[in-house]
């Protein structure tokens, strides 16, 4: 069966699942199920057929997307599908669950000749509505290839995160680690700006504007390893420049924080760890003093 003839199913039509399913339903035959009649009706309006049970959905689908709340709900849904799926069917779990749950459910599905891919998504409700989700898929490469074209209307970046169920989730967790550490750093920047009498709403507009140009934190994720960079490597000069700018600006920001009595623990940790984290630590002993007199 070619990717373009896969009959799709979707379970879990919430803030992200609903618009994602609607985009898929507009592009291919889809059967959808949700415990909310209103959520189901919205996807039916987009072209899907409503199922009245998990069993009814399973018998009419080749690739079923699951976007429910947590690990327990994923287990419940998979359990309700397995006895009714045809051999060779695919399940794509878009929920963010633990890698262990993904592997456990993939093993269970394999005993029924069904392939489970963990396929968490990033981009939120806006990305789902626009068809611009990133979909990170872990599992069998051939199954990934089958699913990729079918899921393309919902995501303009679909990547094979690795050969094992759980690899997609591992990639998603690393991505979200950056996301929420960045959010915490944002609160430090806001406290510093507020103490300095700066309008933090205007600061936010500046941050969004410049991140759209530079790419934000992801702009330095250019290498395929975190190992230290050799001095004769092309990236050595690039990342040394980043380090020098970062250490200068962090030192200035921390000096302002000390003047204003604002505690910036992530800022101080960044100054301490930036060089080694970038892979371009100082080649000779250098005492880099923070405004509090701490030394690297």
Does one domain contain both 158 and 76? Answer: yes
Helix (H, G, I), strand (E, B) or coil at 96: coil
What are residue 264's phi and psi, to 5 degrees? -125, 75
The reply to whether 291 falls in a domain is no
Q: Is residue 134 part of a domain?
A: yes
Return the CA Rg of the chain.
Answer: 24
Is residue 222 assigned to a domain?
yes
Final residue of a structural domain among 165, 187, 204: 165
Q: Is residue 287 one of the residues assigned to a domain?
A: no
The answer on 130 and 248 residing in a single domain is no
Tell me: do 185 and 264 sit in the same domain. yes
CA dist 76 and 257 (Å) reads 50
Q: Please give the angle made by the CA atoms of 168, 170 and 172, to the nearest 5 degrees.
A: 70
Which among 132, 150, 165 is the end of a domain? 165
Per-residue pLDDT, 5: 78
**CATH number of the domain encompassing residue 7:** 3.40.50.720
| Domain count of the fold of the chain | 2
Question: What is the CATH number for 234?
Answer: 1.10.1040.10
List the domain range (segments joined by +) for residue 228.
172-278
Both 65 and 146 in one domain: the answer is yes
- In tens digits, the chain (296 residues) has pLDDT values of 444 579 999 999 999 999 999 999 999 999 999 999 999 999 999 999 999 999 999 999 999 999 999 999 999 999 999 999 999 999 999 999 999 999 999 999 999 999 999 999 999 999 999 999 999 999 999 999 999 999 999 999 999 999 999 999 999 999 999 999 999 999 999 999 999 999 999 999 999 999 999 999 999 999 999 999 999 999 999 999 999 999 999 999 999 999 999 999 999 999 999 999 999 998 654 445 555 555 44
Which residues are part of the catalytic machinery? 172
pTM higher than the cut 0.85: yes
In a shared domain, residues 17 and 161: yes
Are residues 191 and 130 located together in one domain of the fold?
no
Structure tokens at 242: 């980043």
Do 42 and 126 have their domain in common? yes
Shared domain check, 252 and 192: yes
């Amino acid at each position: 069966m070619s990717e373009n003839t896969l009959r799709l199913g979707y379970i879990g039509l919430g803030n992200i699942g609903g618009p994602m399913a609607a985009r898929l339903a507009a592009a291919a035959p889809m059967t959808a199920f949700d415990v909310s009649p209103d959520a189901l009706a919205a996807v039916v309006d987009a072209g899907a057929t409503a199922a009245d049970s998990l069993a009814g959905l399973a018998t009419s689908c080749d690739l079923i997307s699951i976007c429910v709340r947590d690990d327990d709900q994923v287990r419940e849904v998979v359990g309700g599908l397995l006895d009714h799926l045809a051999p060779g069917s695919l399940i794509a779990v878009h929920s963010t669950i633990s890698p262990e749950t993904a592997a456990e459910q993939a093993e269970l599905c394999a005993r029924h000749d069904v392939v489970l891919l963990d396929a968490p998504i990033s981009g939120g409700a806006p990305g789902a509505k626009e068809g611009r989700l990133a979909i990170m898929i872990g599992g069998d490469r051939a199954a990934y290839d089958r699913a990729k074209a079918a899921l393309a209307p919902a995501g303009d970046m679909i990547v094979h995160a690795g050969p094992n169920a759980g690899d997609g989730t591992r990639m998603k967790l690393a991505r979200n680690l950056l996301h929420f550490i960045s959010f915490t750093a944002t609160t430090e920047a806001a406290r510093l700006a507020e103490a300095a009498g700066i309008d933090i709403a205007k600061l936010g507009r500046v941050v969004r504007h410049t991140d759209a140009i530079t790419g934000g934190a992801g702009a330095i994720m250019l290498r395929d390893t975190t190992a230290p960079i050799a001095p004769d490597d092309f990236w050595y000069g690039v990342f040394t420049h980043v380090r020098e700018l970062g250490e200068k600006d962090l030192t200035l920001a921390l000096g302002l924080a000390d003047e204003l009595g604002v505690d910036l623990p992530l800022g101080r940790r960044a100054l301490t760890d930036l060089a080694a984290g970038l892979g371009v630590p100082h080649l000779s002993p250098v005492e880099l003093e923070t405004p509090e007199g701490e030394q690297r």
